[in-house]
């Protein structure tokens, strides 16, 4: 069973992904802002983070930048899951070891679960 952290400020969207991922056997925790996501990552040590970019208190890209400077967070798999197009995304993401970039509006929750499973299996 893989441990997944969902960093998403929209509670309904986070709940939907949490339900889908738990249904497929993953252990899931949710953070609704970047600061909580960073703290919860250190405590929970997930195998993978689904990371929204636009969140309160600390954006997803800021959270990821801080995560990558830690010993405990430098190798955690990360999928950006946002409605910001890749063209509009912060350019620093290229240097922060992101496994995939997924636009929510272009993928069903089932497709997102498939991407999660692919990343966790190393595909």
Torsion angle of the four alpha carbons 6, 63, 33, 118, in this order, in degrees rounded to the nearest 10 = -10
The whole-number pLDDT of residue 94 equals: 72
One-character DSSP codes across 65-97:
HHHHTSTTTSS-EEEEEESS-GGGS-GGGGGS-
Mean of per-residue pLDDT scores for the chain: 91
| Prediction pTM value | 0.93
Q: State both tokens at 18.
A: 């949490």
Total number of domains constituting the chain = 1
Phi and psi torsions of 7, nearest 5°: -105, 100
- CATH classification at residue 98: 3.40.50.2300
Per DSSP, the chain holds a count of helices (H) and strands (E) of 4, 5
What pLDDT band is residue 122 in, cutting at 50, 70 and 90? confident
| Range name among 3-7, 26-30, 103-107 with the lowest pLDDT average | 103-107
Q: Which domain holds residue 25?
A: 3-120
Is it the case that residue 78 has pLDDT exceeding 90?
yes
- What does the alpha-carbon distance between residue 75 and residue 88 come to, in Å, rounded to a whole number? 25
Write the pLDDT tens digit of every residue in 88-99: 776 776 777 789
């Amino acid at each position: 069973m893989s441990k997944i952290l969902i960093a998403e400020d929209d509670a309904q969207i986070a709940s939907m992904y949490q339900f889908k991922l738990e249904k497929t056997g993953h252990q899931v925790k949710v953070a609704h802002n970047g600061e909580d996501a960073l703290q919860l990552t250190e405590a929970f040590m997930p195998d993978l983070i689904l990371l929204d970019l636009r969140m309160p208190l600390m954006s997803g890209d800021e959270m990821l930048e801080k995560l990558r400077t830690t010993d405990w967070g430098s190798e955690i798999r990360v999928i950006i899951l946002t409605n910001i197009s890749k063209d509009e995304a912060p350019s620093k993401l290229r240097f922060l070891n992101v496994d995939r970039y997924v636009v929510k509006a272009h993928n069903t929750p089932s497709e997102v679960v498939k991407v999660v499973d692919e990343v966790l299996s190393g595909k």
